[in-house]
Chains A and B, each alone.
Chain A
Amino acid sequence: MTTERTASETPDLGHAVPGTPHPDRERQVLDRIARARRRKAVVREERITLAHGAGGRATHTLIEAVFLKEFGNALLAPLEDGATLRLDGARAAFTTDSFVVSPLFFPGGDIGDLAVNGTVNDLAMCGARPEYLAAGFILEEGFPVADLRRIAASMAAAARAAGVSIVTGDTKVVERGKADGCYVTTTGVGVIERPVSLSASGARPGDAVIVSGPIGEHGAAIMLARGDYGIEATLRSDTAPLHELVSGLLDGVPGQVRTLRDATRGGIATILNEVATASDVAVVVDEDAIPVRAEVTGVCELLGIDPLYVACEGRFVAVVDGAHAGRALDALRAHPLGAGAAVIGAVKDDPPGLVLLRTAFGGTRIVDVLVGDPLPRIC
């Protein structure tokens, strides 16, 4: 995160003897970095760059320094997937999401079902039953009407499948070159019937960390569908509505689910970091336990990208009381979308704010939030 700094916080460590470990000094440095990371966010760039939209640290800085600063209120402040509010005594979840995916049509879905499922899932992560959606369209002059029909039909089918109605909307057309074909924004409301309290800040030491299925399939499918790499694989986006799967989980282990987050932009790595930071706990995960399909691993190896950062559109991370992890897993696996669910790690108290990975190789490393998009390596 971009932070304000003062001269006193850049220490003179003197000249170190190469290779000599200084445990005390290292600890000092680590503490100083931890403090630096907690400081107020500042946007240094004069213009928006693509990194600001990648869902990583740059996005978070922008949201905190620009939007949270201006809009700041108690409902927005936790920066959950949606806001939980009371309407006339009833608890409701309220959320919005914009979709700018390219290409618009890809194996396993298109921008239409993605836009419906994305908002349905954000509501589901609040523990809500999705009810109504609004849909906004920004269309580029020259966009084929046949494509728009196809997108609308796909949205209708996804809405039916999720049991929601699209009840209001808006359409704008911009000049050729001012948009990339078609952008869709969906906004949704849902009813929270169960007495749940779900938040990224709810994780406690002893909790289990669960992922609802194999990760990274949407992001990998999109990368290949862009056709830039000349790689062929039978990968499909995992886009799917998750509210039924979530219902099954919440009923299977009532009162034991602390956090639900769908692992979209930034992948599960980003979600786990949000939990570690918001709950001030350590999240320790086992690389061997994280389900990743061989095709996704293969694509990521070829492109030099870590699947932990690749987007899913039909998977979520759940933090559940450790004593009920087995029953939670049973509840998830009872639904077809949760067949590949797995416990991937546990919540510990120390070191707070860090996500640690026990690597398949038998080592340890941290898993941080990326600044922007994962950059492929040169060689």
Chain B
Amino acid sequence: MRFVDEYRDAGKARVLAAEIAGRCEPGRRYTFMEVCGGHTHTIYKHGLEDHLPENVVLVHGPGCPVCVIPMGRVDDAIHIAAQPDVIMTSFGDMTRVPGGQGSFLDAKAAGADIRMVYSPLDALRIAQANPDRRVVFMAIGFETTAPSTAMTILRAAADGIRNFSVFCNHVMIIPAIKAILDSPDLRLDGFIGPGHVSAVIGCEPYEFIARDYGKPLVVAGFEPLDILQSVHMLLGLLASGRAEVANQYARVVPWQGNRTAMEAIRRVMRLRPHFEWRGLGFISQSALMLADEYAAFDAERIFELPGVRVADPKACQCGEVLKGVLRPWECKVFGTACTPETPIGTCMVSSEGACAAYYNFGRFSRDRVREATRA
């Protein structure tokens, strides 16, 4: 398939892998965090680590939109969904995320009308088709998905649709990266920057990482060759002692970002003073809520919410995994009490979550597998 196969070419990967190995100083360890869950998924799905030398280690960051949703917010959403005239809509990834009292899938089995959509516009269409029901879209995601939520609200306002609202859980990537950089647990050599988020916010917002923390960041695309090339670029920056922001994904990401998309967010949303992130705790000015002008579309103001904060289960070490301090299999409950079928933590739910990616794709011993896969 054009525009996909070119970026999955094993021959090119081997050439790049050799160059990466050549750029590594012997005896030095390189630890890079891929911030975005989409990258985590690509790395595992294509077996990308097989192309990296052993002293280049990728740790998985907090950029999985589902993984950072705290349990209390899931309970709030289920509470809304349980109202008799409500149709709750959300992305497919949300359906198995556990709250304090089960997931959307369980709530649906208990009678709630919960539907999976591919876009908030689909939710708006459901609202138009069901004028006697209240249709709520559970909005999640970083700046990648926030513009489409904002545009949908603008459309709903323009069309005078009154039975549609948004339960806004949009979060922002920069405060999350800053929280990681300020975390004392971790030593990183650089970042593989999130491609889709950057298509919206551009590359400038990352400059503080280079300036204040002295770490390079390369904004990367989502195909496996994109990620290998980003590792190659990071090693190049480190070798020449340059802490800079670079853009590997220029075919999609303009340096300035997408002004129209940012403008839509600015019109419709405001910063929350603080927001709880699963595993990371409260981070100030890290999330978005609807602006007062759009209160009529704000599910948080339309519905009375329990708003009960649910502490993460004690055994769950999602926070350490999201910060890259623990590798998924180092969590105490990984693969025994916490599995994709009975997830304790959100990292085990989404296919972008580090734990689910490792469990589904990487749960094997490399030595034994090398033997088995020898042609």
Residues of A within 8 A of B (CB): 1-3, 5, 9-13, 16, 18-19, 21-23, 25-27, 29-30, 32-33, 36, 44-51, 57-58, 61, 228-229, 282, 284, 294, 297-298, 301, 303, 306, 348, 350-351, 354, 356-366, 368, 370-372, 375-379
Contacts and interface: CB of A to CB of B under 8 A. Distances in A.
Given A363-B46, A366-B363, A29 B334 contact: yes
B141 interface: yes
B50 A363 contact: yes
A354 B364 contact: yes
A49 B335 contact: no
B327 A49 contact: no
B276 interface: no
A295 to B, nearest CB: 10
B234 interface: no
A16 B48 contact: no
Given A364-B373, A377-B93, A47 B145 contact: no
B352 interface: yes
Contact of B46 (A26, A361, A377, A378): A361
B337 interface: yes
Contacts of B365: 23, 26-27, 30, 351
Contacts of A361: 8-10, 13, 46-48, 51, 224
A61 B340 CA distance: 13
Interface in B266-301: none
A379 B336 contact: no
A51 B104 CA distance: 12
Given A229-B118, A363-B46, A377 B41 contact: yes
Given A1-B341, A26-B365, A29-B329, A375 B373 contact: no
14 contacts: A5-B336, A11-B332, A19-B327, A29-B330, A50-B108, A354-B364, A362-B10, A362-B51, A363-B224, A368-B363, A375-B350, A378-B91, A378-B352, A379-B141
Nearest to A364: B47
> Interface centre among A2, A351, A371, A378, by most B CB within 10 Å?
A378
B105 A49 contact: yes
A47 B49 contact: no
A58 B186 CA distance: 37
A360 B324 CA distance: 28
A303 B92 CA distance: 11
B332 A12 contact: yes
A145 B144 CA distance: 48
Contacts of A363: 46-51, 224
B73 interface: no
B109 A45 contact: yes
Contact of A298 (B1, B13, B44): B1
Contacts of A303: 118
B95 A375 contact: yes
Contacts of B128: none
B106 A284 contact: no
A294 B1 contact: yes
Nearest to B360: A368
Contacts of A50: 105, 108-109
A319 B118 CA distance: 38
A33 B145 contact: no
B65 interface: yes
A49 B352 CA distance: 23
B38 A18 contact: no
A22 B57 CA distance: 13
A29 B145 contact: no
Contact of B369 (A9, A46, A301, A351): A351
B362 interface: yes
Contacts of B324: 18
A362 B371 CA distance: 15
B65 A18 contact: no
Contacts of B10: 360-362
Interface string B346-375: 000011100000011111110111111100
A377 B368 contact: no
Nearest to B31: A19
B47 A47 contact: no
A372 B112 CA distance: 19
A216 B254 CA distance: 36
B337 to A, nearest CB: 6
> Interface centre among A50, A58, A301, A366, by most B CB within 10 Å?
A366
B337 A351 contact: no
Contacts of B333: 10
A51 B337 CA distance: 19
B337 A10 contact: yes
Contacts of A365: 44-47, 361-362
Nearest to A30: B365
B109 A49 contact: yes
Contacts of B49: 363
Given A2-B342, A379-B145, 5 more contacts: A363-B48, A365-B46, A366-B361, A368-B361, A379-B142
A16 B91 contact: no
Interface in B295-332: 315, 324-327, 329-330, 332
B140 A378 contact: yes
Nearest to B331: A13
Contacts of B14: 362
> Interface centre among A23, A229, A371, by most B CB within 10 Å?
A371
Given A5-B337, A361-B47, A363-B46, A376 B368 contact: no
A377 B105 contact: no
Contact of A47 (B54, B109, B122, B330): B109
Contacts of A357: 47
A30 B342 contact: no
Nearest to B188: A18
Contact of A301 (B1, B332, B337): B1
Contacts of A366: 360-364
B369 A379 contact: no
A56 to B, nearest CB: 9
Contact of B96 (A26, A306, A368, A371): A371
B237 interface: no
B303 to A, nearest CB: 23
Interface in B112-135: 116, 118, 122
B80 interface: no
A368 B44 CA distance: 13
A325 to B, nearest CB: 15
